[in-house]
Chain A
């Protein structure tokens, strides 16, 4: 299957700082990428959908000014958590789909801990 990577795999930061997470599709061009958040023992919650070259579409209740998403190329999307607080601590997972297929391939996730 297609490979999606995320970097970093884990990060610890102080409250008030910003953290950037990268999502890359390694062997295909991703026209659409998705960012999810997952709390322990819970399902995946879609945060936003990003299409290459256009602004991301955020789900209801997700602050677009806090979670900045950039989809600069067909293989890279970034999520920046601005002014992070302890309640932002979570597992963030990206997924990517290429072309007109519905198949989404997920990255390995990034564990964010805000102290």
Chain B
């Protein structure tokens, strides 16, 4: 089955700096890669996703890049703010009718004011 590795497990940055979280996946058939933000005691919130037919996607301060050959994808957050502090999860899935996702281990991002 699919295996997703996520690094780093914790990331601490100063407000205004950039943050990068990286994930690798094992199943070459995976073609959908979402990123979720989870705040304490809440459910994950989709922040951005990318499909295997594109290499990069950007939404304001957030961007995701995908390297299919190397089977890795990354989340980039620029101009970080304290409210960006949360746990971030990457995931990988196939474009099947069931849409099952495999999640990474999560990254605790702390943005210091």
In the complex, A43 Cα to B106 Cα: how many Å?
6
The A interface is mostly helix, strand or loop, or mixed, namely strand
Contact with A along B27-57 (1 / 0, CB 8 A): 0000010101000011111100101000000
The residue that B99 contacts in the complex, of A4, A32, A42, A111, with Cβ under 8 A, is: A32
Q: Is the CB of A108 within 8 A of B42?
A: yes
Q: Give the contact stretch, choosing among A13-21, A71-79, A82-90, A96-104.
A: A96-104
Q: Is the CB of B42 within 8 A of A43?
A: no
In the complex, A6 Cα to B42 Cα: how many Å?
11
A interface residues, tally (CB under 8 Å): 26
Contact with A along B79-105 (1 / 0, CB 8 A): 000000000010001010111111111
B residues in contact (CB < 8 Å) with A: 32, 34, 36, 41-46, 49, 51, 89, 93, 95, 97-106
A residues in contact (CB < 8 Å) with B: 1, 4, 6, 32, 34, 42-44, 46, 49, 51, 57, 93, 95, 97, 100-109, 111
